[in-house]
Amino acid sequence: MRHSRIVLLFLVGLFLFGRPLAAQDELDSVAEELGSLRGVVRDAATGRDIGDARVGLRATAGGQIAFDMTGSNGQFTLDGVPRGAYTLTVEHPDYLPLSQQVINLDGRPTFGLQLALRRKPAASDASPEEAPEAPAARSSGIPPAAQDAMNRGMELLHVKSDARGSLGQFERAVREYPDFYEAYTQIGLARTSLGNSSDAEKAFRKAIELSEEKFGDAYAGLAVVLSDEKHFPDAEAAARKLIELNPDDWRGPGELARALHGQQRYQEAEAPADLAAKLAPANPTLQLLRSSIHLQLNKLPAMLEDLDAYLKLVPTGPDANRMRDLRAKVQQAIAAARPAQSR
């Protein structure tokens, strides 16, 4: 009986994939085409976080790709963004609309984007609504020159896709304000974009040190670069720290699942992958991660559900067609396995 099951699994593998790991290669290939965008929207005059702002991405050819409403902390997340050029828009009833170009999103997670809105002119110059509000605590401690350099660097990195040019601005920011851990995090992102993983890791670790191990974005960046370099045990540790700091941030369980997958600890990877998908249900990349884990665990019905969830999020395009073809093969393999298992 055991021999028959081994032969069955081998035949199903051949039927599904044609060659070893072909399905895994297909999942990985599609996953690399999708990225995410995270940031915060603040009042340009006061630095205060703006909640209930609508942040959207539109393709340059027209048509909305994704949108999110900022929370009370001003943060937004746009998941499952294919490679390409987009217009980023921000709208709020009390503020002037913002529109700017975001070009060449390359499938990597992009986070730390800071967007500033200016209030609409008041009906009267003497309106009490025009009185300045107290600035955010973190903003008040950063010298204007450092913040200006940070903003210029963010524009170069995240809007103009000029990672090399952004480094000069971020480095100027930390010269002006040596404790600027957010700027060190952006240095790490820029170095990651340039393929300099060693210096990226140093920058993320510096940000962690300066923030007294309390800045989640730095741990997220560190986990990504460590997994990219296949240093999965260290990536696991960074992801677990991110979960400890920000339990509602999907990047923590998502990066933990990725690190465990890299260590071939597929059984352990399943639960954090499920949690990440629950926290970010609009992120198709997480469905691909779950599909990969279920492939390795030989849970083909669960893999079929993952592919269905992915296709609901990404119903059209070449990646959807590839995953639809893979889904059909999985479905056929499940059907082919049932008669053999019943014997």
User: What pLDDT does residue 319 have?
Assistant: 81
User: What pLDDT does residue 261 have?
Assistant: 95
Tell me the CB-side half-sphere exposure of residue 148, using CA atoms within 13 A.
4
For residue 301, pLDDT beyond 70: yes
Please indicate whether residue 224 or residue 283 has the higher confidence score (pLDDT).
224
Q: What is the mean pLDDT of residues 9-18?
A: 42
User: What pLDDT does residue 197 have?
Assistant: 93
One-letter amino acid of 105 = L
One-letter amino acid of 343 = R
C-beta pairs of 258-262 under 8 Å, 24+ apart in sequence: 258/223, 258/227, 258/289, 259/223, 259/226, 259/227, 259/232, 259/233, 259/235, 260/232, 260/236, 261/289, 261/292, 261/293, 261/296, 262/227, 262/230, 262/232, 262/235
User: What pLDDT does residue 259 have?
Assistant: 96
**Domains, the chain, ordered by start:** 7-118+213-342 (1.25.40.10)
> In this structure, are residues 39 and 113 in contact, taking their beta carbons and an 8 Å threshold?
yes
What percentage of the chain reaches a pLDDT higher than 70? Answer: 77
How much is the pTM? 0.72
Residue tagged 């926290």 (tokens): 279
User: What pLDDT does residue 280 have?
Assistant: 83
Please indicate whether residue 240 or residue 312 has the higher confidence score (pLDDT).
240
Q: What is the mean pLDDT of residues 81-100?
A: 82
Question: Tokens in use for 41?
Answer: 């929207």
For residue 20, pLDDT beyond 50: no
Please indicate whether residue 204 or residue 103 has the higher confidence score (pLDDT).
204
Q: What is the mean pLDDT of residues 85-103?
A: 80
Cα distances (angstroms) measured from residue 121 to each of 60, 126, 328: 30, 11, 57
User: What pLDDT does residue 85 have?
Assistant: 73
For residue 290, pLDDT beyond 50: yes
Mean model confidence pLDDT for the chain: 80
For residue 287, pLDDT beyond 50: yes
Q: What is the mean pLDDT of residues 61-86?
A: 77
Q: pLDDT grade, residue 80 (50/70/90)?
A: confident
Which of 29-33, 62-66, 169-173: highest mean pLDDT? 169-173
User: What pLDDT does residue 43 have?
Assistant: 79
For residue 27, pLDDT beyond 50: yes
Lowest mean pLDDT among 21-35, 67-81, 178-192, 258-272: 21-35
Phi first, then psi: what are they for 75, rounded to 5°? -85, 150
Please indicate whether residue 58 or residue 286 has the higher confidence score (pLDDT).
286
User: What pLDDT does residue 121 have?
Assistant: 72
Q: What is the mean pLDDT of residues 151-164?
A: 81
For residue 256, pLDDT beyond 90: yes
H helix or E strand, kind and range, residue 112 = strand 110-117
User: What pLDDT does residue 249 have?
Assistant: 86
User: What pLDDT does residue 98 have?
Assistant: 84
For residue 33, pLDDT beyond 80: no
Q: How far apart are CA 252 and CA 55, in angstroms?
A: 23
Dump pLDDT digits (tens) for 113-130.
778 788 877 544 444 343
Please indicate whether residue 190 or residue 86 has the higher confidence score (pLDDT).
190
For residue 29, pLDDT beyond 90: no
